[in-house]
A and B are shown apart, each in its own frame.
Chain A
Amino acid sequence: MLEPIIEVKNLTKTYKAAQKKFRQKTSYIHAVKNINFQVLPGESFGIVGESGSGKSTIAHLIMGINKVTEGEIIFRGRNIAQLSRGGEREICRNLQIVFQDPYSSLNPKKSIEWTLTEPLIIHSIGTKASRKEKVIEVLEEVGLGESYLKKKPHELSGGQRQRIAIASALILEPEVIVIDEGVSALDVSIQASILNLLNELKEKHKLTYIFISHDLNVVQYFCDKIAVVYLGDLIELFQTEEFHQEEHAEYTKKLFNAIPDVSFTSRTS
């Protein structure tokens, strides 16, 4: 049995609800509630759900962007749910995130070289020369080249920006990359090339992905396991391979039946 790389136990995040009346008792809203799952090394773990279901909250909690209210996140045998800032820094070398919108996740005023060198400087890795070498190496890995070093984000297309975002996640050689709607904003042909790239990198670097998406076609193609989240609850977790055989929860069926299919079998006139 493989040891899980990330284990989430009873993960809960609550927010204070707005007080509607003066001296009203504060009530709490659950963003996510009692989430439990394990991610094995080398796996692509998909999380799907509608907007507001809490799928991105889970990603943010794992990354330490939001503070966990209750529960544990165990990464390599260590609970990272309640870390100090210093501890976080050490962990985040091994945990990286790729955001949805490559237009807003890159600093528009800085060159690509700066964007990619910054993580190395923060973690004080290498010398100036070796950093540059590393940056070029990563750029080549994501299918771009040295010529992109001096470019700024506005000179790049959506697909190229997303490659830069992946490169900046990759540069610290993490074990786990969280991809929060990482291909949702892209056209289908570019989306295909990014998915291929992610699969190649996974093979090469033995990466583990936590892949968050609302696009069920993509998740079915890309992920080994799928977790369905609805209103902050984890409803179901199954192997993608077994999707067509098993019995599923009502909500899962509803969700997957809603995918428009590019064929005429599903078309009702």
Chain B
Amino acid sequence: MAKLMLEVNNLNVSIKVKQKVYPALEDITFKVNENQVVGVVGESGSGKSLTAQSILGILPANTEVTGSIKLENDELINKSSKAWQKLRSNEVSLIFQEPMTALNPLMKVGKQISEVLRKHTNYSNNECYRKTIDILKEVGLKRPESIYHSYTHELSGGMRQRIVIAIALVNNPKLIIADEPTTALDVTIQAQIIDLLKDIMKKRNGAMLFISHDWGVISQVCDYVLVMYAGKIVEQGPMENLISNPQHPYTKGLLKAIPDFKKRGEALYSIPLRVPALTERRKGNWPYIEITEENKQVVADIFPEILQRETKE
């Protein structure tokens, strides 16, 4: 039995805008085991990044969180900001999407990596330097000594993304959250970064939460997937099952919309609904679409849940 790393139970996040409270995440429940990569897919506005932010404790100030997030049986919700600070990078760390904005352009990249060690450990300067060189080697950068002393503008996009990964990994966190780590990259570089992440996962027995809107990338990296829509998990399951045999009509729709060579000459399927904006949402009313006589059939085709709700009422 694999060890349980992260357990999220009934997580609800609501955001306050102009004195009104809107639901942003509802009833998020999932688990991440050791040695497992869990993918999160969804359109923009589906709450993927918000889920990551709640696990990292970096939600904006106007939010309210209920439910439970347990990292190795340690409850994270309602921790003090000092406790969170200790947790980040020691226990959980984040790989950012945009390497250009995540890194400091005025600071040598080596310093940026070793800063993590300086803040979180008692290593001497010398040890910090050696650890940094080791991690640079591990993320596949050649000539780590000269990379240590270079600035971000001297590196290519792929190299920068490797630096961002190095910063996330340097302190051996138990859980890594990767927020769209390959979205800003070209396909060839993307393939390299995917290989690197897979390698690292194998070597370190870590657990990873992998957020992406790209089914191609998700299917390459993940063992288990969550599909999200408007702040709720629509469907979750092991990767192979989910792709070959999706259960929920929304998941089916997303998969059908992917263009490829075989679909040439035919029109692509497109989900006829858009993700509702935060201020259009009312609690307990998911998927937050106003149902009229005309769109009832369309909505029910994609979210059969609404029919159940009506019979309940």
Contacts and interface: CB of A to CB of B under 8 A. Distances in A.
Given A193-B270, A259-B187, A262-B216, A220 B261 contact: yes
B157 A258 contact: no
Contacts of A196: 267-268, 270
Interface string B210-237: 0001111101100000000000000000
B259 A157 contact: no
A158 B216 CA distance: 22
A10 interface: no
A119 interface: no
* Size bracket of the A interface: 35 or more
Interface stretch (B62-70, B87-95, B250-258): B250-258
A87 interface: no
A50 B268 contact: no
Contacts of B240: 264
A216 B188 CA distance: 11
A199 B268 CA distance: 10
A214 B186 contact: yes
A46 to B, nearest CB: 12
B123 interface: no
A157 B274 contact: yes
B263 interface: yes
A246 to B, nearest CB: 14
A188 B258 contact: yes
A66 interface: no
Dominant SS among interface residues on chain B: helix
Contacts of B217: 260
Contact of A262 (B188, B258, B270): B258
Contacts of B295: none
Given A196-B268, A260-B219, A189 B259 contact: no
Interface in B263-300: 263-264, 267-271, 274
Contact of B220 (A159, A218, A267): A267
A51 B188 CA distance: 11
Given A217-B260, A221-B263, A260 B270 contact: no
A261 interface: yes
Interface string A95-110: 0000000000000000
Given A195-B259, A217-B258, A255 B187 contact: yes
Most buried by A among B43, B189, B216, B259: B259
Contacts of A158: 44
Interface of B: 43-44, 157, 186-191, 194, 213-217, 219-220, 240, 243, 253-255, 257-261, 263-264, 267-271, 274
A220 B264 contact: yes
Interface in A147-164: 157-159
A190 B270 CA distance: 7
Contacts of B215: 188, 262
A254 interface: yes
Q: Identify the 3 closest CB pairs spanning chains A and B, nearest first.
A: A260-B216, A221-B259, A193-B270
A97 B33 CA distance: 48
A90 interface: no
Given A217-B259, A262-B219, A240 B264 contact: yes
Dominant SS among interface residues on chain A: helix
11 contacts: A50-B189, A158-B44, A188-B213, A189-B253, A189-B271, A193-B268, A196-B270, A217-B258, A218-B259, A221-B264, A260-B219
Nearest to B255: A262
A262 B243 contact: yes
A240 B265 CA distance: 12
Nearest to A214: B186
A218 B44 CA distance: 19
Most buried by A among B187, B189, B213: B187
Given A217-B216, A260-B219, A262-B255, A255 B188 contact: yes
B258 A51 contact: no
Contacts of A189: 43, 253-254, 257, 270-271
A227 to B, nearest CB: 16
A266 B258 CA distance: 17
A243 interface: yes
A258 B187 contact: yes
A222 interface: yes
B254 A220 contact: no
B219 A261 contact: yes
A187 interface: yes
A187 B270 contact: no
A190 B213 CA distance: 12
Contacts of A258: 187-188, 190-191
A29 interface: no
